[in-house]
């Protein structure tokens, strides 16, 4: 692949960071300066969204190649390059990221009061790191952005978080680091193997790495070990049971914006990594570990849902519901068929919309009452009818009611899984019941019943700004629920390409030689 | 006069050196520690002079002069530090002075 | 035109919904129910007109051409999975459409009166319209996923409407229970859908009908498919073991009970079975299960209905029981009879529910039949229409209930899938039905009032202005100013009464227009058992009339005189206790499923998640801290120790090298 002249992706990635640096220069010792810095962050994120729309328009869904690619040498001696590219899977995740960032910025308009300038700068910096992770076509660059993402996140949780924010931030940081170091070692191993096998020197370029042949066979063969190294890193991010315990703490302690980004985008990194690295690199190991992974995914769904049911803290409930929902993503990916995979990518987008919505809504009542205990609420529907409408819709989307986005994702995943394993699909589908159980329990405790307490009686309904925050999400819920084809058609080719090693013919000849990889068929 | 055999002198030097070393490691009074260091330095000087005489080569004696000078400087600085330490810590016991504790 | 049928109520929903939302955003002023209800009624009425016109078009066309189809948009398309959003209007769905929009319109009109004092009628009518839209999608959907969209959508509306008065925690819980129990059924539906797709590769009804005939599929798979789908039906249509939500669902406003929990939504299970009758017909085992569950539910619910004192609860169990009848019909292969009973039941049960609603409205939210009595004089119009409904459901000829029920009993007896045992259970249920409905009727309308009738001058004082969700507390002190309901409520009842009386005409045995009409879309009617004679049909018909009369007579003997009723009650006290506690099914589920699951969840969280997983993670962190502390103890600041260590290191290195030299 020749380096192209377009540098649209670089603009997309680094625009938020540049904007953040510019924003830091705005003096905020006056009220108007403060407002200006918020406004500048909002505009910056909107401009980034506009750039991502340009990327969307230039994207060609017919090709599975990495598009709008950029390729520059960085550390030639190690084969590291600055390589960006976009395909049908990362396209939507990039758009999800740029779509959520303005919403997040708008949602923290009034709730963040200390160190305002730094806060927005960190969010924009985080956006750069997230976009970079999705767009990197070089293992080393991917790793760099992957780690860079942690820094703003650490500060967002650690500075603007709740009471136990330091503990939560540290846990988030160390958990992720532990996983990603395994990944780093595995990346070096791959680069080294590339050098050994081709004699061309090191390479961290993804399509190059896809060509590396790694001995397989057995649960502890090199390929299996590499598979585990990558998968653990991504499973922590997803988070897959039993590596999920950082999530409830991080979500509960993070400020609303942090939770939204965490749930909306960061968790998707795990799923994205599985599709981008694990599936094409280690087909034999993936087939070997398919059943254990599916079992873990199924356990995650029921386990997360059951625990969510008995939570008393609204935010913790939503956090555990994420564990449950992201279990579906793992199932869809490891079902290893186009239906399941499409569902998995779609579910990532849907979860990004609906769980972000839930966190935003929880944040809105938290701003009013400064508590997240369900027992402190009751009958909120009566005093906040608009809030109740929005809450109901997002909740239904999260409970996967047909007509909302959540249904399409879960339906496709379960259908795909059904073709792989009917028993596991039946168990995974229990999540459909349990999802309704915990969400409706929460809704009843918080929203229904008689209005309790004077503080609840005085609650104000949504402000115009909050409506503006929620409306795009509500539109997305129905749009994605009724017109999934709009999304599918851009990702179809890429998904089919990523499953090439797992097609019937590939399975037949898998032991002989590794066949077609996404970009080198 | 029968010259003293070289091995005897070297053994004597080694003995002095290890006495000094033991002093450095064992004694808790910094002044004594510094004196022990002087003892070790002088043991080395004696060794050098011995070899210089035995091999009839002047380099050893040159080195001794350097060492004497450096040792003098070292004692001066060392004693200065000890006085400064004593002024702040009111003690010259090494067990009491553990500022490098990790 | 076809798309308009579900679209119109949806538009009504959007108008009322946005009116409500905007109203709330501007401070939420009260809105007259006539305006909101007018919009809602107009949309559903227009939808009825559309359905009627299309139905007439179907009537006028050739038998082969009686299917209209329109594809609105492509819903899901991913690889082999192609699901266009197709609406299909054929013989079966046209009937359901007419019932839904027709009865729906009447109930909308009734609601204008019933919900007259509601705080936010736009919200109520928006929900009601949304329900109709989803229900129409359910019956018009041309493929299983589209049907499923409607299927879950009506479940949602049911939830919203049951917990409509959500400030009462019990009512909110009732809605939640309905949704969750339905979800359990939906799981079966979903899995059945998956199995159909992986077996046949399509989810479209027309395509499936072809595929089922051409593709050889093992009976086991077919039975599994049918049973999984039937699990969905037991949820939505309140059959054993998932019927527990329906009685609780009576927490909703009465028009909701009439529309959703009697006439339309709960019959969608029968619709599904009829729609897929070509599959069920291939699996005698599944049919046997359907018939058995249907018969068992019919009898079981009827026994509970005897001992209930809440007027709506009696009707709710009666609904469960009648739904059991319909499944009994489907289970013996008489799908047309099942659909027939759906239609007649929609008329008389909607009539009974709304009659009960009228009574409740007139009695100022009193629902206990023990505290009623003598309403015949106080609410003469309601009395009259209610009497028609009562006789219809009790099975008195020639009212519609008799015709459809008798048909089911005959098929249960005579069909090749039927048996004498099924007939006996059905007949017993018929007797019980006649008995408990008469009991309800007698206690409510006949005899003398068992409450303090308020003086006429109190009437203005108490008449209106009560919110429906709160009390009749002060009414108990001053007496109840019972009043006949306004015309807007009575008129729909009158229409339904007429329909309940005459609707039997479409399905008179041996010249049934309905059976002929539905013949192309349903599986063939089953052959009769060889030992059954045709004369038996007339005998059985006589028997079932006799049974109904015996049931009614028994009720009059016992409840005609309150003293005998009391004696009867004390004689059967222990049985009555079990029955009035609904055989303790709720308690059983609670103890066996809900509580253990909740305990498990708590254990998983408090023990496994926090004490095991998180402990392991934290101990990894602690381990690195500990090892750091260990290494730190060397770094104690004593220069002499450092020097000693240097010496030791130096000596060991030297020693090691010397060792290497000498060996």
- Write the ipTM: 0.88
**Is the backbone peptide bond immediately before C416 cis, with ω within 30 degrees of 0?**
no
Residue C484, token pair as written in the block: 């006949």
Output the 3-class SS for C236-249: HCCCCCCCCHHHHH
B93 to chain C: closest CA residue: C638
Contact at CB, B100 and C647, closer than 8 angstroms:
no
Q: Is the pLDDT of residue C476 over 60?
A: no
Residue B72 lies in a domain: yes
pLDDT for res A239 = 87
Tally of CB atoms within 10 A around A169: 24
pLDDT for res C610 = 81
- pLDDT tens, A102-156? 999 888 888 877 888 888 889 999 999 999 999 998 889 999 999 999 889 988 8
Phi, psi for residue A377 in degrees, rounded to 5? -105, 175
Q: Which residue has the higher pLDDT, C127 or C512?
A: C127
* Best to test chain A binding among C23, C192, C594, C601 (most A CBs inside 10 Å): C601
Mean pLDDT of C465-480: 47
Phi, psi for residue C576 in degrees, rounded to 5? -60, -35
Query: C23 exposed, middle or buried (CB, 10 Å; 0-12, 13-18, 19+)?
Result: middle
Cα–Cα nearest to A121, from A146, A165, A169, A155: A155
- Percent residues over pLDDT 70 in chain C: 96
Residue B14 lies in a domain: yes
Contact at CB, A403 and C191, closer than 8 angstroms:
no
Nearest chain A Cα distance for residue C190, angstroms: 8
Nearest chain C Cα distance for residue B54, angstroms: 26
Q: Is the pLDDT of residue A511 over 70?
A: no
DSSP C368: B
Q: Is the pLDDT of residue C570 over 90?
A: no
DSSP strand pairing (C81-89 vs C68-78):
antiparallel
- Give the CB-side neighbour count of residue C464, counting CA atoms within 13 A: 9
- Write out the residue range of the structural domain in which residue B15 sits: 6-89
Which chain B residues are closer than 8 Å to C642 by Cβ? 100
pLDDT for res A518 = 43
* Best to test chain A binding among C31, C71, C79, C220 (most A CBs inside 10 Å): C79
Closest partner CB to A402 (pick from C80, C152, C187): C152
What pLDDT band is residue C261 in, cutting at 50, 70 and 90? confident
- pLDDT tens, C425-463? 999 999 999 999 998 898 888 878 877 776 554 444 444
Closest partner CB to A449 (pick from C28, C172, C602): C172
B24 to chain C: closest CA residue: C640
Residue A466 lies in a domain: yes
Residue A464, token pair as written in the block: 């115009």
pLDDT for res B101 = 67
Q: Which residue has the higher pLDDT, A309 or C566?
A: A309
Mean pLDDT of C292-308: 90
What total number of domains does chain A contain?
1
Query: C32 exposed, middle or buried (CB, 10 Å; 0-12, 13-18, 19+)?
Result: exposed
Contact at CB, C75 and A488, closer than 8 angstroms:
no
Mean pLDDT of C556-583: 79
B56 touches chain C (CB under 8 A): no
Question: Any contact of C with A, at least 3 CB pairs below 8 A?
Answer: yes
C194 touches chain A (CB under 8 A): yes
C156 touches chain A (CB under 8 A): yes
Residue A468 lies in a domain: yes
Cα–Cα nearest to A386, from C31, C171, C23: C23
* Best to test chain B binding among C632, C638, C646, C651 (most B CBs inside 10 Å): C638
Residue B68 lies in a domain: yes
Most confident of A66-70, A379-383, C409-413, C561-565: C409-413
- pLDDT tens, C358-387? 888 888 878 888 888 778 888 888 888 899
- pLDDT tens, A422-459? 899 999 988 889 989 999 999 988 888 888 878 878 88
CA angle in degrees (0–180, nearest 5) for C602-C603-C606: 80
* In contact, A362 and A322? CB cutoff 8 Å: no
Residue A369 lies in a domain: yes
| Measured distance CA(C78)–CA(A258) in Å, rounded | 34
Nearest chain B Cα distance for residue C625, angstroms: 14
What pLDDT band is residue A296 in, cutting at 50, 70 and 90? very high
Residue A1 lies in a domain: no
Contact at CB, A418 and C80, closer than 8 angstroms:
no
A463, containing H or E segment: none
Whats the size of chain C, residue-wise?
663
- Percent residues over pLDDT 90 in chain C: 26
Query: A273 exposed, middle or buried (CB, 10 Å; 0-12, 13-18, 19+)?
Result: buried
Contact at CB, B101 and C640, closer than 8 angstroms:
no
Q: Is the pLDDT of residue A4 over 60?
A: no
Q: Is the pLDDT of residue A516 over 50?
A: no
How many CB pairs lie under 8 A apart between chains A and C? 143
Q: Is the pLDDT of residue C474 over 70?
A: no
Nearest chain B Cα distance for residue C637, angstroms: 4
Which chains border B (3 or more CB–CB pairs < 8 Å)? C
Nearest chain B Cα distance for residue C646, angstroms: 11
Mean pLDDT of C100-112: 91
Q: Is the pLDDT of residue C624 over 80?
A: yes
DSSP C613: I
What pLDDT band is residue C151 in, cutting at 50, 70 and 90? very high
- Percent residues over pLDDT 90 in chain A: 27
Residue B97 lies in a domain: no
Contact at CB, B95 and C638, closer than 8 angstroms:
yes
Mean pLDDT of A3-7: 62
Contact at CB, C81 and A339, closer than 8 angstroms:
yes
Nearest chain A Cα distance for residue C320, angstroms: 23
pLDDT for res B12 = 93
Residue B94 lies in a domain: no
Q: Is the pLDDT of residue C73 over 50?
A: yes
pLDDT for res A507 = 52
Nearest chain A Cα distance for residue C572, angstroms: 38
* In contact, C299 and C238? CB cutoff 8 Å: no
Residue A141 lies in a domain: no
- pLDDT tens, A199-215? 888 888 888 888 888 88
A67, containing H or E segment: strand A67-75
The CATH number given to whatever domain includes residue B18 is 1.10.287.3510
B18 to chain C: closest CA residue: C647
- Write out the residue range of the structural domain in which residue A337 sits: 289-500
Mean pLDDT of C604-630: 84
* Best to test chain A binding among C74, C149, C153, C194 (most A CBs inside 10 Å): C194
What total number of domains does chain B contain?
1
Q: Is the pLDDT of residue B71 over 70?
A: yes
Q: Is the pLDDT of residue A3 over 50?
A: no
C144 to chain A: closest CA residue: A402
Q: Is the pLDDT of residue B100 over 70?
A: no
pLDDT for res C455 = 57
pLDDT for res B15 = 95
Contact at CB, C76 and A412, closer than 8 angstroms:
yes
Cα–Cα nearest to C617, from A182, A28, A173: A173
């Amino acid at each position: 692949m020749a380096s192209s002249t377009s540098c649209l992706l670089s603009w997309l990635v680094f625009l938020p960071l540049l904007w953040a640096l510019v924003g830091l220069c705005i003096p905020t010792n006056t009220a108007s300066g403060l407002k200006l810095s918020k406004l500048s962050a909002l505009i910056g994120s909107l401009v980034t969204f506009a750039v991502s729309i340009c990327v969307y328009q230039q994207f060609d869904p017919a090709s599975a190649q990495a598009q709008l690619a950029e390729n520059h040498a960085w550390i030639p001696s190690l084969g590291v390059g600055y390589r960006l590219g976009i395909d049908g899977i990362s396209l939507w995740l990039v758009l999800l990221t740029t779509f959520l960032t303005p919403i997040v910025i708008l949602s923290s308009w009034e709730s963040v009061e200390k160190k305002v300038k730094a806060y927005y700068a960190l969010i924009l910096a985080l956006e750069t790191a997230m976009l970079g992770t999705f767009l990197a076509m070089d293992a080393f660059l991917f790793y760099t952005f992957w780690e860079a993402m942690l820094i703003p996140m650490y500060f967002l949780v650690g500075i603007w978080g709740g009471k136990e924010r330091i503990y939560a931030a540290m846990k988030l940081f160390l958990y992720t680091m532990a996983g990603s170091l395994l990944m780093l070692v595995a990346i070096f191993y791959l680069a080294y193997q590339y050098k050994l096998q081709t004699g061309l020197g090191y390479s961290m370029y993804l399509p190059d790495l896809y060509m590396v042949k790694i001995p397989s066979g057995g649960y502890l063969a090199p390929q299996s070990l590499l598979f585990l190294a990558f998968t653990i890193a991504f499973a922590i991010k997803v988070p897959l049971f039993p590596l999920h315990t950082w999530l409830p703490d991080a979500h509960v302690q993070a400020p609303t914006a942090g939770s939204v980004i965490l749930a909306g985008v960061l968790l998707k990194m795990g799923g994205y990594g599985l599709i981008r690295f694990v599936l094409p690199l280690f087909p034999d190991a993936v087939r070997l570990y398919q059943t254990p992974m599916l079992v873990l995914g199924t356990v995650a769904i029921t386990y997360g849902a059951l625990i969510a049911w008995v939570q008393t803290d609204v935010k913790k409930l939503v956090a555990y519901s994420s564990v449950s929902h992201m279990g579906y993503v793992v199932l869809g990916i490891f079902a290893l068929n186009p239906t399941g995979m499409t569902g998995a990518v779609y579910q990532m987008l849907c979860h990004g919309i609906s769980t972000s919505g839930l966190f935003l809504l929880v944040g809105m009542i938290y701003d009013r009452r400064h508590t997240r205990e369900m027992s402190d609420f009751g009958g909120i529907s009566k005093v906040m009818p608009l809030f109740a409408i929005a809450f109901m819709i997002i909740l239904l989307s999260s409970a996967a009611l047909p007509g909302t986005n959540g249904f399409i994702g879960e339906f496709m995943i379960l259908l795909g899984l059904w073709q792989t394993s009917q028993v596991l699909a039946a168990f995974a589908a229990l999540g459909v019941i349990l999802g309704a159980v915990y969400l409706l329990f929460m809704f009843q405790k918080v929203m229904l019943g008689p209005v309790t307490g004077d503080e609840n009686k005085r609650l104000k309904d949504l402000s115009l700004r909050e409506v503006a925050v929620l409306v795009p999400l509500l539109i997305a819920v129905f749009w994605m629920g009724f017109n999934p084809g709009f999304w599918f058609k851009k990702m179809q080719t890429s998904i089919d390409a990523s499953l090439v090693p797992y097609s019937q013919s590939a399975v037949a000849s898998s032991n002989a030689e590794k066949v077609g990889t996404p970009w080198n068929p | 006069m029968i010259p003293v055999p070289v091995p005897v002198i070297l053994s004597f030097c080694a003995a002095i050196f290890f006495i000094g070393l033991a002093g450095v490691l064992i004694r808790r009074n910094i002044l004594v520690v510094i004196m022990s260091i002087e003892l070790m330095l002088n043991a080395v000087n004696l060794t050098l002079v011995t070899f210089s005489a035995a091999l009839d080569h002047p380099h050893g004696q040159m080195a001794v002069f350097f060492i004497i000078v450096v040792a003098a400087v070292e004692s001066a600085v060392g004693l200065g530090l000890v006085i400064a330490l004593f002024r702040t810590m009111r003690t010259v016991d090494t067990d009491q002075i553990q500022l490098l504790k990790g | 035109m076809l798309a308009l049928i579900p679209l119109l109520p949806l538009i009504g929903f959007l108008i009322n919904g946005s009116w409500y939302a905007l109203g709330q955003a501007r401070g939420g002023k009260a809105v007259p129910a006539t305006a909101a209800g007018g919009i809602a009624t107009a949309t559903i009425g227009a939808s009825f007109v559309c359905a009627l016109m299309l139905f007439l078009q179907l009537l006028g066309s050739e038998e082969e051409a009686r299917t209209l189809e329109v594809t609105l948009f492509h819903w899901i398309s991913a690889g082999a999975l192609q699901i266009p959003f197709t609406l299909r209007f054929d013989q079966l769905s046209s009937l359901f459409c007419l019932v839904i929009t027709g009865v729906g319109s009447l109930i909308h009109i009734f609601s204008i009166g019933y919900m007259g004092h509601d705080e936010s009628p736009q919200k109520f009518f928006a929900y009601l319209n949304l329900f109709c839209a989803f229900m129409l999608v359910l019956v018009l959907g041309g493929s299983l996923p589209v049907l499923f969209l409607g299927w879950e959508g009506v479940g949602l509306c049911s939830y919203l409407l049951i917990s409509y008065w959500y400030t009462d925690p019990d009512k909110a819980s009732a809605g939640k229970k309905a949704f969750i129990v339905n979800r359990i059924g939906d799981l079966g539906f979903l899995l059945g859908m998956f199995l159909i797709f992986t077996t046949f590769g399509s989810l479209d009804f027309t395509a499936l009908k072809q595929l089922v005939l051409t593709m050889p599929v093992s009976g086991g798979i077919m039975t599994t498919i049918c049973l999984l789908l039937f699990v969905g039906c037991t949820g939505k249509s309140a059959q054993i073991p998932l019927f527990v939500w329906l009685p609780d669902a009576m927490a909703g406003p009465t028009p909701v009970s009439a529309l959703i929990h009697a006439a339309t939504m709960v019959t969608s299970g029968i619709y599904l079975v009829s729609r897929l009758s070509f599959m069920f017909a291939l699996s005698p085992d599944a049919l046997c299960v359907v018939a058995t569950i249907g018969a068992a539910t019919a009898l079981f619910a009827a026994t509970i209905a005897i001992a209930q004192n809440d007027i709506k609860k009696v009707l709710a169990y009666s609904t469960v029981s009648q739904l059991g009848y319909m499944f009994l019909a489907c289970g013996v292969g008489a799908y047309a009879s099942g659909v027939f009973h759906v239609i007649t039941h929609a008329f008389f049960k909607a009539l009974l529910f709304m009659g009960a609603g009228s009574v409740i409205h007139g009695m100022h939210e009193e629902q206990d039949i023990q505290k009623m009595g003598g309403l015949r004089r106080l609410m003469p119009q309601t009395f009259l229409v209610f009497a028609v409904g009562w006789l219809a459901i009790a099975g008195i000829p020639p009212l519609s209930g008799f015709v459809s029920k008798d048909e089911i009993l005959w098929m249960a007896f005579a069909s090749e899938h039927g048996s004498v045992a099924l007939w006996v259970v059905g007949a017993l249920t018929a007797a019980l039905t006649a008995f408990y409905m008469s009991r309800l009727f007698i206690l409510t309308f006949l005899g003398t009032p068992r409450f303090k009738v308020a003086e006429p001058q109190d009437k203005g004082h108490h008449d209106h202005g009560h919110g429906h969700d709160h009390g009749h507390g002060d009414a108990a002190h001053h007496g109840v100013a019972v009043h006949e309901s306004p015309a807007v409520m009575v008129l729909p009842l009158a229409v339904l009464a007429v329909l309940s009386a005459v609707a039997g005409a479409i399905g008179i045995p041996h010249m049934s227009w309905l059976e002929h009409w539905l013949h192309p879309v349903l599986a063939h009617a089953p052959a009769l058992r060889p030992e059954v004679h045709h004369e038996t049909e007339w005998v059985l018909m006589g028997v079932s009339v006799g049974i109904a009369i015996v049931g009614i007579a028994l009720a009059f003997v016992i409840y005609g005189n309150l003293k005998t009723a009391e004696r009867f009650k004390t004689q059967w006290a222990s049985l009555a206790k079990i029955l009035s506690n609904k055989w303790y099914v709720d308690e059983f589920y609670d103890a066996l499923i809900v509580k253990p699951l909740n305990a498990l969840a708590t254990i998983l969280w408090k023990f496994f998640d926090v004490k095991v997983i998180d402990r392991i993670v934290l101990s990894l962190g602690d381990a690195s801290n500990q090892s750091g502390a260990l290494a730190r103890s060397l770094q104690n600041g004593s220069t002499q120790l450092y020097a000693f260590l240097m010496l030791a290191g130096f000596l060991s290195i030297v020693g090691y090298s010397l060792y290497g030299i000498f060996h």
